[in-house]
Structure 1
Amino acid sequence: MGYAAAGRGAKGHDRPEISVLLAHSKAALFERLVATDLVKDARLQRELLNYFPSPLRRDYRSAILDHPLRREILAAHLTNLVVNRMGATFCNYLLENSSADAASLVRAFIAARDLLGIEVLDRELDRLVGELPHSLLMELQLRLHGVLHRMVFRLFRKAPGGLGCDALIRRYQAACDCLRDTLPEQLPGSELACLQEDAATLAGAGVPVELADALARLKYQPIALEVEEVRQIVTRPLADCLRQYLAIGAAVELHWIRREIESLPLYDKWYRKAREALHDGLLQSVRQLAVAALSNGPVGNGKPDVAGLAGLLGELRSMDGLNIAMLTTMVGQLSRLASSPETV
C-alpha cells in the first residue's frame, strides 16, 4: 500500500513507514533552518544552551555560543523539538502553504509552547506515569498536541512578521495570562458547565485537581490571540476586550461551532484546507463583531443581532453530526452578519 492510500484508509501508516517520514521531514527542516539567522535570536540562544548539560552551560557558556558549529547544533536541536512534537507532516504542510520561512515556523512553535506552558504540563504528566492508565496519559498528550497545533498554526499565519521569539511572546503573554486567570468568570453559563464537567471528569479519572483544571482550560487559550488582535485595533483595556469577545462568542455560539468544525473528518489535504477556511472565517467574524461592539459604546453593551442566526443555529443543533456543507452555510451567514453595518 502506498503512502497516499494508507493515509486515506483506516489502516494509516505503520511504524517503519512513520520512521521514514520522520527522517525525511527532519532532513528537510534541518536544511532550511541551517540557512536562517535563528542562531542570533536571543530566545533561541537559550535553547542552544539548554541542549548541553548544566555543567557545560555553567563553565563554557561563551564557548557554546561561539562554537563554529553552533548554527548546525541549534538547527538539529530545533528540528527534533518541532518534528518530534508536531509530527512528520506538520512543518511541510504549513511551509508549502505560506510564503513565510522555516525560521518563522520555529519561532511560532517556541512562542506557542511557552505561552501555553506546555513544558510545565509535560512534567506534570510525566510524574503520573505508572499512576494513571497509559491510555489516559496518551489522551492527555493528544489534548496538549491539539491545542499546541492550533496555537502554532495561528501564530505562524497571523502574527506580525519580523518578530523574534521574545517579542512574539511579549505581544500575546498578557492576553494569555488574562484569559487563563479569569476564564471561569468570563465564560457563559453553558460553556462554563462544559469546562467544569471536563475538569471533573479528568479529576474523577485520577488526574490531580489542579492539573485537571489547567488541562480543561487549555483548549480555550488560542482565543487569547484573537483578543489581543482586537485590543490592537480598538486600543481598549485588555479585560474589556476579553469580556466583549467572549460575550460575542456566547451570542453566536462560537465554542460549539468551533468544536463542530474541529470534528470534521480529514480525508486529505483538501478537507484540511476546507476545515481551516471555516475556522478562519469563524474567528474573523467574531473578531469583527467584537471590534464593532467595542467601537460603538461601553463594553458589554454591543451585542450582535443574531435573530437571523437563531433559526439556523437551532436547526443545526437538533442534528446528529454536522457535515462540511452545513457548517459552511453557518459560517457564511455569520460572516454576512459581521459585515453588516447595522450588526451592533
Structure 2
Amino acid sequence: ARFIRALEKAGRLNRAIEYLPTEEELAQRMAERRGLTRPELAVLLAYAKITLYDDLLASDLPDDPAMAEDLLRYFPQALREGQRDAIGRHRLRREIVATQVTNSLVNRVGPTFVKETMEKTGLGPADVARACVIVREVFGLSDLWDAIDALDTRVPATAQTALQLDILALMERTVAWFLANAAHPLDLAAEVATFRPGLETLAGTLDRVLDAEESSRLDARAASHTAHGVPEALARRVAALPVLAAVPDLVRIAGRTGRAVPEVAAVYFGLGRRFALEWLRDKAVAARIDNHWQRQAVAAIVDDLFAHQMELTVRVLEQDAETPSVEGWVATHAAAVDRVEPLVAELRAQATIDLPMLTVASRQLRGLTTGA
C-alpha cells in the first residue's frame, strides 16, 4: 500500500486506470490476511522497474567503471570475447547498465525493496543500488542466483523460493549495513576489495568459529534444502549465509582492532551465544507484525542487537591484547552482566515474545556496551 501511495504521490501511477485496489479495499484485504493478486503484482513490478530505471539513468552509477561486467553480461558470450572494447564504447551503454541493474534488483529482491530501504536510510535509489551491487559482488550472489535458476523443473518451485528468500534475508541485512556504515558515495571497487577477502576467510574457517549447536543449525538449514532435491554444495552455501552476513561487522572490527578475521569471529559469535543475541534476533523477526510501523520497530531492534554485538566484540578484543576471552570480559563486568542474564533467561521461559519485551532486552544489552 505504501508503495502504491508513493507512486501516486510522485505522479507515476493512477491506480484506477491500472485496476489496483483502493485504500479501503487494501485495508479489507489486510484484515483478511490477503495480499495482491498476480496481475496486480505484475503491474507494480512494471512500475517499479520503470521508476528505478529512470532514477539510475539520471545518476552516475552507469558511468562507474565497476559496472563494466554488467554491461558485458548484456551481450552474447561470443561478442563479449571478441568485442569487449567496442561494447565499452556502445552509445547505449548507460541505458544498458541501468536496465541490467534495474532488472536484477527488482527480479531478485522484489518491487518494494529499494523504496523500503530508501525510507529506512533516507538515501536515494542510486545509493541503494550501489549497496546492492557491493553485496552481490562480496557474497558472490550472481553465481548463487544462476545455480538456483538452473534448478528449474528439477526441484519444486517452493524449494527455489526458499533459497531465494534466504538470499533476500542476507540482502536486507547487509545492504542496510553498507548504507549505514560505509563512506558515501559508495566506492564499488574499493568496498568489494575490502570485504570480499573477509568473506572468503570466514567461509573457510566456519568449522573453527562455530560451536556444535551452531554447526548443527547450519546442517539443519542445509538439510531442509537438500530434502527437496537441492544439490548439497548449493544448499550448504545458502545455509551458511546467516552466518556469513556478519562479514561486514567482522571486517570492520578487524580493521579497528588490528585482529585477524577468524579471531574476531570467535569472539563475535562467542558473545552471540553468551547473551542469546541470535535467539533474540530470531524472536524479533518472528514477532507478529500488523503494520508498517511495527515492521520498522522490528528492523530497529534487530539493527540494535547487531550493533550491541559489534561493540561488545570490540570491547572484549581491546581488553586483552594477548588472549581475548569472552568469559574473561564477563568476569570483569559482572555487575552489568548480572543485570542482563536473568532478563534473557526470563525471556527464554516465555511462551511468546512481543516487541516491548524485545525492546527492554535490547536496552539492557546496551548497558553492557556503555558500562552502565
Give the distance between the partners of 1:36 and 1:127, measured in 2 at CA: 33
Matches within 5 A, 1:226-237: 226-237=249-260
In the other structure, the counterpart of 1:300 is 324
In the other structure, the counterpart of 1:48 is 71
In the other structure, the counterpart of 1:315 is 346
Give the distance between the partners of 1:127 and 1:68, measured in 2 at CA: 33
1:26 pairs with 2:49 = yes
Q: Deviation of residue 119 (structure 1)?
A: 2.2
Q: Deviation of residue 99 (structure 1)?
A: 4.2
- 3-state DSSP of counterpart to 1:80: helix
1:71 pairs with 2:94 = yes
In the other structure, the counterpart of 1:331 is 362
Give the distance between the partners of 2:206 and 2:36, measured in 1 at CA: 39
Residue identity matched to 2:247 = A
1:2 pairs with 2:26 = no
Residue identity matched to 1:36 = S
- 3-state DSSP of counterpart to 1:154: helix
- When normalised by structure 1's length, the TM-score is 0.91
Matches within 5 A, 1:1-344: 1-2=21-22, 4-5=26-27, 6=29, 9-297=32-320, 298-302=322-326, 303-304=329-330, 305=334, 306-340=337-371
Does the 8 Å CA contact 2:72/2:84 hold for their aligned counterparts? yes
Does the 8 Å CA contact 2:121/2:176 hold for their aligned counterparts? no
Does the 8 Å CA contact 1:243/1:300 hold for their aligned counterparts? no
Does the 8 Å CA contact 1:7/1:13 hold for their aligned counterparts? no
- When normalised by structure 2's length, the TM-score is 0.85
Distance change (3 Å), C-alpha of 1:182 and 1:55? same
Higher mean C-alpha deviation, range 145-154 or range 250-259: 145-154
Q: How many residues align?
A: 341
CA RMSD of aligned residues (A): 2.1
Distance change (3 Å), C-alpha of 1:301 and 1:59? closer
- 3-state DSSP of counterpart to 2:121: coil
Q: Deviation of residue 7 (structure 1)?
A: 5.2
| CA offset digits 1:67-111 (Å, max 9, x no partner) | 332222211221111111111111112223434333221221112
Q: Deviation of residue 209 (structure 1)?
A: 2.5
Does the 8 Å CA contact 2:71/2:96 hold for their aligned counterparts? yes
Does the 8 Å CA contact 1:245/1:287 hold for their aligned counterparts? yes
Give the distance between the partners of 2:323 and 2:75, measured in 1 at CA: 50
Does the 8 Å CA contact 2:205/2:262 hold for their aligned counterparts? no
Q: Deviation of residue 134 (structure 1)?
A: 2.6
| CA offset digits 1:243-269 (Å, max 9, x no partner) | 211111111112211211221234332
Q: Deviation of residue 55 (structure 1)?
A: 2.6
- 3-state DSSP of counterpart to 1:140: helix
Q: Which has the higher contact order (CA 8 A, sep 6+)?
A: 1
Does the 8 Å CA contact 1:230/1:287 hold for their aligned counterparts? yes
| CA offset digits 1:147-192 (Å, max 9, x no partner) | 2222222222322223322211112112212221112321133222
Identity %: 29
Residue identity matched to 2:371 = S
Distance change (3 Å), C-alpha of 1:15 and 1:68? same
Distance change (3 Å), C-alpha of 1:175 and 1:7? farther
